[in-house]
Homo-oligomer: A and B are copies of this chain.
Amino acid sequence: MASVSVRDVAALAGVSMGTVSNVLNHPDKVSSATVARVQSAVEKLGFVPNGVARQLRAGISNSIGLVVLDAANPFFTDLASGAEARAAERHHTVLVGNSSQDPARETAYLDLFEQQRVRGVLLSPVGDVLPRLERLHHRGIPSVLVDRQAGDPGFSSVSVDDVAGGRLATTHLVSLGHRRIVFVGGPFRLRQVSDRLAGARSATKHRPDTSIEFVETESLTVEAGHTAGQEIRARTTNDRPDAVFAANDLVALGLLQAFMHQGSIKVPEEIALIGYDDITFASAAVVPLSSVRQPSHRIGSTSVELLLREADGGKEPRHIVFQPELVVRASTGR
Seen from chain A, the residues whose Cβ lies within 8 Å of a Cβ on chain B are 1-3, 46, 48-56, 59, 61, 71-72, 74, 77-78, 80-81, 84, 93, 95-96, 98, 111-112, 114-117, 135, 138-140, 222, 253-254, 256-257, 280-281, 283-288
Contacts and interface: CB of A to CB of B under 8 A. Distances in A.
B285 A52 contact: no
Given A93-B112, A135-B46, A285-B286, A84 B72 contact: no
Given A72-B77, A253-B284, A280-B222, A51 B115 contact: yes
A290 to B, nearest CB: 15
A117 B50 contact: yes
A61 to B, nearest CB: 7
Nearest to A257: B284
A78 B72 contact: yes
Nearest to A84: B98
Contact of A52 (B3, B55, B74, B138): B55
B115 A50 contact: yes
Contacts of A93: 112
Given A257-B284, A284-B285, A56 B52 contact: yes
A166 to B, nearest CB: 23
A281 B249 CA distance: 11
Nearest to A114: B48
16 contacts: A3-B59, A3-B139, A48-B111, A51-B112, A51-B115, A51-B116, A51-B117, A52-B117, A53-B56, A71-B77, A71-B80, A72-B280, A81-B98, A84-B98, A95-B95, A281-B281
A280 B93 CA distance: 29
Nearest to A115: B51
Given A253-B281, A257-B283, A286-B284, A52 B48 contact: no
